[in-house]
Amino acid sequence: MKSLAVQRWPGPTPAPQDGLFAILINTSAASSPPGTASAPAPNAASTVPPPASGAGQQRDAARRQIRQAAREALGAVLRMPAADISIVSTPGTPPHVLLAGVGSHIGISFSHEDGYGLAAINLHGPIGADIMRVQDIPDWQTVASDYLGPAVAAALQNTINRPLAFTQAWTQREAALKCHAQQLSEWQAGLSGASISLILPDPHLAGQIHIGDKTA
């Protein structure tokens, strides 16, 4: 599979493809005002002022909103009440799904950007997901060289639509790291699995998912 269409939620019951589906919700009512999100470049953090407590509360509300939507969508797919589905997060590990209090092999990953929340689900095993607003990163060469690897950095030199290509490459890397429960670090190869492009309903967003080996 080269791409996966993302469905807006609420909506019809998702139809998994090879056990994969993803939903997108609007969290603008709970999110920070436009322009307050930090750029993806790691060194951009120093230029963004610390968020106010209100912004933190808005982010928490957006996280709760997408988790509830994920439980509803997964419940519709599995034909079970959303109340019987729990999403548990443990520091250092990806979120995992409990069905009626029992552990499962279902993988789930979340991403937030620009007033949206994404939930991607793999019914067969691990998954990582990342979305980002397409934007021109001024120091893209340094960021790509340090974090995306020499091959990607070289490819970005000659691409026609560099903002989109950079965003796709960045979200691919972030999704792979999430799938393997790793923090962002300077470039290293060897993350197993497969990356799949997301077809998002907002043309200003781009994203990827990364799936691990099937466990069922």
Read off the amino acid at residue 146: D
Range of the domain at 183: 3-211
Residue 60, in any domain of the structure = yes
pLDDT of 94: 87
Question: Domain total for the chain?
Answer: 1
- Residue 93's pLDDT is what? 83
Instruction: Give this prediction's pTM.
Output: 0.86
| Run means of pLDDT, 10 residues per run, the chain, 216 residues | 96 97 91 43 40 73 96 98 95 90 97 96 97 94 94 94 97 95 86 95 96 65
Element (H, E) at 169: helix 162-179
In a domain, 66, yes or no: yes
Neighbours of 155 (CB within 10 A): 14
pLDDT at 3: 97
Q: Is residue 174 part of a domain?
A: yes
- Residue 139 belongs to a domain: yes
In a domain, 145, yes or no: yes
pLDDT at residue number 114: 84
Residues pairing with 18 in the sheet: none
Residue 216 lies in a domain: no
pLDDT reported for residue 214? 56
25 occurs within a structural domain: yes
Residue 170 in any domain: the answer is: yes
Residues in CB range of 107: below 8 A, 6 or more apart? 94, 96, 97, 121, 122, 124, 125, 126, 127, 179, 211, 212
pLDDT of residue 102: 97
Written as one letter, the residue type at 162 is R
